[in-house]
């Protein structure tokens, strides 16, 4: 049986225009940043329903930010220039690497964790609140 060090880190390689792209997944801190930046993404996250069609219908800015967060050598500007099928392949790989058991189990585990840390079980993941702009 493999130990934790022999299976980490989880990555996937996707071929894009003849080049191999290493997908590393999205770190927890980056997920929080994405949810804070994009209310539409936050709504999908809160439902726990990850529909690739809905994801692909989101703005180019959201898709580019997701791709840049999950692929270390692509920035948002370059991610916007990818063809839609290339974006779809990268997003699918990012989801597989970030949440290997799928979005449903990930959300269930996260909800349980939040309940444990918060002291009580929570039936839903709380929405992130944005800070109010300064009046200065």
pLDDT tens track for 43-79: 887 777 777 778 878 899 999 999 999 998 899 999 9
Q: Is residue 93 part of a domain?
A: yes
Calculate the average pLDDT of the chain.
80
Q: Is residue 136 part of a domain?
A: no
Cα separation of 123 and 136, whole Å?
38
Q: Is residue 126 part of a domain?
A: no
Judge if the upstream peptide bond of residue 32 is cis by omega within 30 degrees of 0. no
Whether residue 13 contacts residue 23, with contact meaning beta carbons closer than 8 Å, is answered with yes
Q: pLDDT higher for 9 or 59?
A: 59
Q: Is residue 73 part of a domain?
A: yes
Q: Is residue 99 part of a domain?
A: yes
pLDDT of residue 79: 95
Q: Is residue 131 part of a domain?
A: no
Number of domains in the chain: 1
Domain range holding 28? 4-118
- Exposure b/e, 74-91, CB count within 10 A at least 16 = b: beeeebeebeeebbbbbb
Q: Is residue 123 part of a domain?
A: no
Whether residue 113 contacts residue 125, with contact meaning beta carbons closer than 8 Å, is answered with no
Q: Is residue 133 part of a domain?
A: no
pLDDT of residue 45: 77
């Amino acid at each position: 049986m493999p130990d934790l060090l022999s299976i980490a880190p989880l990555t996937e390689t996707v071929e894009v225009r003849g080049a191999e792209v290493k997908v590393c997944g999205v770190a927890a801190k980056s997920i929080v940043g994405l949810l804070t930046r994009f209310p539409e993404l936050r709504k999908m996250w809160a439902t726990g329903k990850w529909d690739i069609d809905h994801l692909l219908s989101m703005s180019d800015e959201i898709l580019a930010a997701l791709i840049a967060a999950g692929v270390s050598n692509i920035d948002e500007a370059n991610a916007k220039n990818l063809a839609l099928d290339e974006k779809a392949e990268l997003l699918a790989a990012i989801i597989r690497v970030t949440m290997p058991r799928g979005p449903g189990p990930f959300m269930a585990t996260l909800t349980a964790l939040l309940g444990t840390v918060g002291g009580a079980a929570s039936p839903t993941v709380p929405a992130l609140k944005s800070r109010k702009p300064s009046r200065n």
